[in-house]
């Protein structure tokens, strides 16, 4: 029993103790302490000396606090936190105040990332904010900190002022009372509830999901005053869950009247002009998923005497969306379409995305085409770009193309006999392109995506891994080729636009990756760190239960891809040039690339919108919008996953150990796309030690081992729907490892 208690104590020490190096007053000592914080924050933001009269006025203090202000100022001067000279006060050049973005842990502490630390402070890790030191700050607020000490090489600090609120409105569940009710935030990183007076309840009923606004923030209060802005409905309803995610991530979801009016007035007529090339005789087809509603890319392949000619034709959104117009401003603000299992939040109104810019069969459409020539080995030998008009022959699906190329299904071969030779040429070229890409060192990792299967009555029937067949890869290769060709042309012609870059991973993270993989018992090849090396590692685990874990670990090792005006290459693809050109219906960066390339082709100065100062600023903003969309989608899937598992308590599943910590295991189920945890307190067959270096738990008496990559059978013991947690216990170690 002692061993398990020791394990628990290690968990508790994740929030390190505060060791003060200055006689700073502790929070909660009243008005004097708050006044001290206000003075420090004022002098920090002012950046220049202030007299006591200035401070008194700028803090808007009542007359009765004049004497107290003098006492606090003298106290700050004696402690050398403020310099006092000729009746004025300012911060010393080497002060202990820093600012940054706060990330709050549900257990009451936080970490602050400091982007631009002062020269006299070497800050190598995020600053730790101990419990009780957050003041009125909440998750993702920008805060001003006073450093109070250092523990185990990490600075510790207290929040003395919230510089900007990330969230003043939040999603929660309303509990009705008498004259007042409570909104309990769904996100437990917000350390307060909202008290709602009846007149501010917006007609909410007990148990409703709501969007509420904080009326006032007061440091240290558990309950803040608020009001309900919108009643969303029953939180057990999946559509309501979608609305909750939309509000939580502040996703734009309604087009205003100006945008709708502009789009309604667009001319649907397609007319050939001198600036466009007529490609309607080229046998384009679209290939998408069965449920796709917008078709923004079409492809065609022709045989050349010495190789192949590939046409990648993309919907010409720039023809309809002019810079600075209402629809352009709205598209930039959204940045990207957001795809939920239950709903799509499009970047563009439906008349554009599903009609005028959708490459439906047998309808002329404005497009922007990349014409790429390849030799018989798949090497690109020529590229050309043009504004065009096409007419798609067929709307194909991945399943149909697979049945033609792989299954050779007679029904599909007969139905699409008119384009069968073209599809076969596409298959040949795609295989050549993939082989060349892998040969140059492109990392072939495929992180499977979850597909939530819903019933007609919006119940979660299953959560499965998305299928990727040869047809998916065919389209992927063509889109990659077009994106690389456009990026190379942009660099050659010195066109100012956005690149999609993926930088070399941090060597320290590569070392950690090696340690993790070695802990799984995988013998690694020599020469770690290059794209080719990562590719070899993936080959070692291909088609095994460990493949998903290794791919995820690899993804965590990599830096995030982003948009920038500088061509920095793409590490994951082993590409010297890369951008996004192929999806302007759903990604604003692609629209920017279209505009810049078209202006260059026509010898014109590019038109710029009014929403950003320069391309680099746009890249930063659009990268952030992309991350918000990804986070929102992941959370929505997680909400549906827990609902899928909620009625399966007691059932057993095969799983692979995907993480090992001092407090237990993380597992990934093999047959369904679900992850969960096994608490060490539920591993009652032995007393387990955490072998951190080798990523495993080792039993003290029997020598049982659970390590990263182990196959096990687990039994579902509980589902915490509100907290989106799925809990298992171990039923069997399928790898049968029983000794150290």
Residue at 376 is within a domain: yes
Q: According to the model, what pLDDT value does residue 2 have? A: 38
Domain boundary residue, one of 164, 191, 224: 164
Low-confidence winner among 117-121, 561-565, 593-597, 632-636 (lowest mean pLDDT):
117-121
Q: What is the DSSP string of 190-232?
A: S--EEEEEGGGSTTPPTT-EEEEEE----TT-SEEEEEEEEEE
* 271-280 per-position pLDDT tens digit: 999 999 999 9
Q: Judge whether 517 and 553 are in contact, CB under 8 Å.
A: yes
Domain boundary residue, one of 138, 164, 190: 164
Tokens of 243: 């609305």
Q: According to the model, what pLDDT value does residue 534 have? A: 87
Torsion 202-203-205-209 (CA) sign: negative
Q: According to the model, what pLDDT value does residue 21 have? A: 33
388: enclosing H helix or E strand: strand 380-391
**Same domain membership, residue 358 and residue 285:** yes
**Same domain membership, residue 598 and residue 475:** yes
Residue at 2 is within a domain: no
CATH code where residue 188 lies: 2.40.50.700
**Same domain membership, residue 311 and residue 383:** yes
Residue at 701 is within a domain: yes
| Location of structure tokens 């007359």 | 63
Q: According to the model, what pLDDT value does residue 333 have? A: 96
Quick one: what percent of the chain has pLDDT higher than 90?
68
**Same domain membership, residue 321 and residue 419:** yes
SS3 for 502?
strand
Q: According to the model, what pLDDT value does residue 508 have? A: 86
Residue at 6 is within a domain: no
* 482-517 per-position pLDDT tens digit: 999 999 999 999 999 999 999 999 888 888 888 888
* 199-225 per-position pLDDT tens digit: 999 999 999 999 999 998 775 567 889
Half-sphere exposure of 168 (CA within 13 A, CB side): 9
Neighbours of 530 (CB within 10 A): 15
Neighbours of 485 (CB within 10 A): 23
Residue at 242 is within a domain: no
CATH code where residue 69 lies: 2.40.50.140
pLDDT at 22 over 60: no
pLDDT at 230 over 80: yes
d(CA 303, CA 280) in angstroms, rounded, equals 18
User: What are the angstrom distances between the C-alpha of 628 and each of 210, 262, 593, 631, 694?
Assistant: 21, 27, 22, 5, 34
Q: Print the domain residue range for 189.
A: 169-235
Q: Judge whether 589 and 212 are in contact, CB under 8 Å.
A: no
**Same domain membership, residue 342 and residue 230:** no
**Same domain membership, residue 537 and residue 397:** no
Q: According to the model, what pLDDT value does residue 529 have? A: 82
d(CA 232, CA 234) in angstroms, rounded, equals 7
Range 445-452, long-range pairs (CB < 8 A, 24+ positions): 445/534, 445/538, 445/551, 445/554, 445/555, 445/572, 446/551, 447/548, 447/551, 447/552, 447/555, 448/548, 448/673, 450/637, 450/641, 450/673, 451/341, 451/673, 452/341, 452/637, 452/640, 452/641, 452/644
| Location of structure tokens 């100012």 | 496
* 397-437 per-position pLDDT tens digit: 999 999 999 999 999 999 999 999 999 999 999 999 999 99
**Same domain membership, residue 468 and residue 400:** yes
* 348-357 per-position pLDDT tens digit: 999 999 999 9
Torsion 123-129-130-132 (CA) sign: positive
User: What is the average per-residue pLDDT within 27-55?
Assistant: 82
User: What is the average per-residue pLDDT within 111-140?
Assistant: 89
**Same domain membership, residue 603 and residue 624:** yes
Neighbours of 707 (CB within 10 A): 19
* 242-252 per-position pLDDT tens digit: 999 999 999 99
**Same domain membership, residue 198 and residue 143:** no
424: enclosing H helix or E strand: helix 420-439
Please indicate whether residue 719 or residue 708 has the higher confidence score (pLDDT): 719
pLDDT at 552 over 90: no
**Same domain membership, residue 426 and residue 383:** yes
pLDDT at 627 over 50: yes
* 347-385 per-position pLDDT tens digit: 999 999 999 999 999 999 999 999 999 999 999 999 999
Q: According to the model, what pLDDT value does residue 19 have? A: 34
User: What is the average per-residue pLDDT within 3-22?
Assistant: 35
Domain boundary residue, one of 120, 148, 164: 164
**311 beta partners:** 300, 371
pLDDT at 99 over 80: yes
Residue at 8 is within a domain: no
Residue at 252 is within a domain: no
**Same domain membership, residue 545 and residue 489:** no
Q: According to the model, what pLDDT value does residue 736 have? A: 55
Q: According to the model, what pLDDT value does residue 124 have? A: 84
Total domains in the fold of the chain: 5
Q: According to the model, what pLDDT value does residue 5 have? A: 37
Quick one: what percent of the chain has pLDDT higher than 70?
94
Specify the pTM: 0.86
pLDDT band at 238 (very low <50, low <70, confident <90, very high): very high
pLDDT at 566 over 90: yes
**Same domain membership, residue 140 and residue 33:** yes
pLDDT at 295 over 80: yes
User: What is the average per-residue pLDDT within 717-740?
Assistant: 82
Q: According to the model, what pLDDT value does residue 468 have? A: 86
d(CA 263, CA 266) in angstroms, rounded, equals 5
51: Cα separation from own chain's centroid: 46
Q: Judge whether 172 and 115 are in contact, CB under 8 Å.
A: no
Residue at 639 is within a domain: no
């Amino acid at each position: 029993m002692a061993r398990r208690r020791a394990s628990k104590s290690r968990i508790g020490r994740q929030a390190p103790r505060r060791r003060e190096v200055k006689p700073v007053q502790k929070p909660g000592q009243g008005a004097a302490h708050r006044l001290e914080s206000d003075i420090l924050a004022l002098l920090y933001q002012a950046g220049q000396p202030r007299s006591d009269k200035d401070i008194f006025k700028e803090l808007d203090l009542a007359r009765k606090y004049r004497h107290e202000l003098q006492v606090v100022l003298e106290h700050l001067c004696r402690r050398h936190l403020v310099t006092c000279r000729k009746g004025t006060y300012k911060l010393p050049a080497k002060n202990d105040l820093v600012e940054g973005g706060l990330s709050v842990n549900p257990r009451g502490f936080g970490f602050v990332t400091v982007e631009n630390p002062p020269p006299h402070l070497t800050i190598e890790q995020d600053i730790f904010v101990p419990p009780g030191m957050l003041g009125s700050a909440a998750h993702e607020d920008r805060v001003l900190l006073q450093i109070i000490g250092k523990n185990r090489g990490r600075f510790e600090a207290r929040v003395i002022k919230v510089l900007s609120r990330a969230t003043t409105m939040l999603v929660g569940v309303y509990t009705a009372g008498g004259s007042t009710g409570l909104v309990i935030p769904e996100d437990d990183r917000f350390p307060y509830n909202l008290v709602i007076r009846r007149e501010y309840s917006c007609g909410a009923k007990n148990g409703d999901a709501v969007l509420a606004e904080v009326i006032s923030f007061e440091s240290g209060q558990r309950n803040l005053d608020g009001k309900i802005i919108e009643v969303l409905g029953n939180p057990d309803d999946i559509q309501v869950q979608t609305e909750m995610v939309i509000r939580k991530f502040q996703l734009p979801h309604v087009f205003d009247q100006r945008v709708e009016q502009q789009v309604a007035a667009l001319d649907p007529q397609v007319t050939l002009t001198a600036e466009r090339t007529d490609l309607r005789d080229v046998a384009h087809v679209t290939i998408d998923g069965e449920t796709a509603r917008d078709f923004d890319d079409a492809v065609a392949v022709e045989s050349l005497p010495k190789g192949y000619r590939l046409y990648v034709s993309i919907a010409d959104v720039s023809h309809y969306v002019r810079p600075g117009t209402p629809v352009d401003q709205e598209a930039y603000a959204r940045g990207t379409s957001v795809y939920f299992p239950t709903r799509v939040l499009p970047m563009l109104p439906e008349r554009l995305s599903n009609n005028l810019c959708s490459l439906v069969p047998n309808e002329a459409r404005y497009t922007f085409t990349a014409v790429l020539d390849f030799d018989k080995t798949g090497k690109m030998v020529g590229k050309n770009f043009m504004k065009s008009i096409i007419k798609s022959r067929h709307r194909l699906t991945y399943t149909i193309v697979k049945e033609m190329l792989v299954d050779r299904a007679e029904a599909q071969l007969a139905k699409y006999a008119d384009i069968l030779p073209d599809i076969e040429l596409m298959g040949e070229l795609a295989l050549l392109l993939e082989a060349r890409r892998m040969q140059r060192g492109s990392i072939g990792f495929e992180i499977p995506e979850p597909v939530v299967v819903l019933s007609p009555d919006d119940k979660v029937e299953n959560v499965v891994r998305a299928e990727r067949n040869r047809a998916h890869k065919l389209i992927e290769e063509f889109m990659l080729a077009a994106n690389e060709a456009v990026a190379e042309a942009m660099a050659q012609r010195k066109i100012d636009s956005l690149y999609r870059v993926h930088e070399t991973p941090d060597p320290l993270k590569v070392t950690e990756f090696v340690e993790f993989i070695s802990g799984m018992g995988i013998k690694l090849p020599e020469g770690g760190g290059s794209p080719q090396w990562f590719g070899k590692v993936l080959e070692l685990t291909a088609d095994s239960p460990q493949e998903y874990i290794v791919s995820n670990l690899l993804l965590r090792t990599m830096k995030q891809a982003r948009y920038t005006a500088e061509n920095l290459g793409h590490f994951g693809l082993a590409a010297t040039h890369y951008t996004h050109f192929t999806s302007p219906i759903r990604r604003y960066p692609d629209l920017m690339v279209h505009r810049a390339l078209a202006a260059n082709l026509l010898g014109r100065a590019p038109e710029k919108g009014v929403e950003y100062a320069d391309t680099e600023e746009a890249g930063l903003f659009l990268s952030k919008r992309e991350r918000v969309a990804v986070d929102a989608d992941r959370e929505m899937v997680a909400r549906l996953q827990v609902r899928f598992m909620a009625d399966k308590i007691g059932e057993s599943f095969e799983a692979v150990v995907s993480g090992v910590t001092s407090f237990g295991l993380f597992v990934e189920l093999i047959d369904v796309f679900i992850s969960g945890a096994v608490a060490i307190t539920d591993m009652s067959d032995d007393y387990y030690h955490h072998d951190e270096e080798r990523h495993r738990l080792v039993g003290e008496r029997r020598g049982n081992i659970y390590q990263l990559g182990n196959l096990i059978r687990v039994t579902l013991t509980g589902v915490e729907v509100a907290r989106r947690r799925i809990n298992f216990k171990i039923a069997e170690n399928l790898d049968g490892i029983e000794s150290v």
